[in-house]
Amino acid sequence: MRPPSDPIDLDAVDRRIVNSLQGGFPLTSRPYAAAAEALGLDEDELIARLKRLIEVGALSRFAPMFDAQRIGGAVTLAAMEVPAARFEAVAETLASMPAIAHNYERDHRLNMWFVIATETPVGIGLAQREIEAATGLKVLLFPKVREYFVGMRVEA
């Protein structure tokens, strides 16, 4: 993937794809075919373009977003202060845990950030204690106070 500062060339079709698929995706047996038809494309072209948009960094991912709280689960942002010498080992520990959606490094005292997702709200605290026991490091939780949706529209 290219550095975020490099511009990415999107043609008119790429721009239509980015703009149209943020508002929903068809719930059918062949959702890519239905989405492609609405865009005037064929299914294979849409899939290939989405893969390319991810590969070049125009999109970080193409996946559904679920409201875990509405279906009884819980999600929270978490952070830890991890000594540099242990960073990779702690990242591997987190990656092996089913409650951890992803983790990433930040240039900050709290240098490891990750998302904890569990089937129930009680699971967040259980996962926090499991991580602390496995790493010996304090886990700080940053639960969602308010949800925002920021759409990205590109000029056609």
Domain boundaries, the chain: 12-55, 68-142
Answer yes or no: is pLDDT of 65 > 90. Answer: no
What average pLDDT does the chain have? 88
> What percent of the chain shows pLDDT beyond 90?
63
State which H helix or E strand residue 17 sits in.
helix 12-20
SS3 label, residue 77: strand
Answer yes or no: is pLDDT of 1 > 60. Answer: no
The domain made up of 68-142 has a fold known as Alpha-Beta Plaits (3.30.70)
**Which residues, in sequence order, are bridge partners of residue 118?**
74
Nearest-angstrom CA–CA distance, 76 and 83: 23
**Percent helix, percent strand, percent coil in the chain, to nearest 5:** 40, 15, 45
Which two tokens mark 69? 């709280």
Q: Which of 6-10, 49-53, 86-90, 139-143 has the lowest mean pLDDT?
A: 6-10
As a whole number, mean pLDDT of residues 67-82 equals 88
> What percent of the chain shows pLDDT beyond 70?
93
pLDDT class of 53 with cuts at 50, 70, 90:
very high
SS3 label, residue 31: helix
Answer yes or no: is pLDDT of 2 > 60. Answer: no
Nearest-angstrom CA–CA distance, 40 and 35: 9
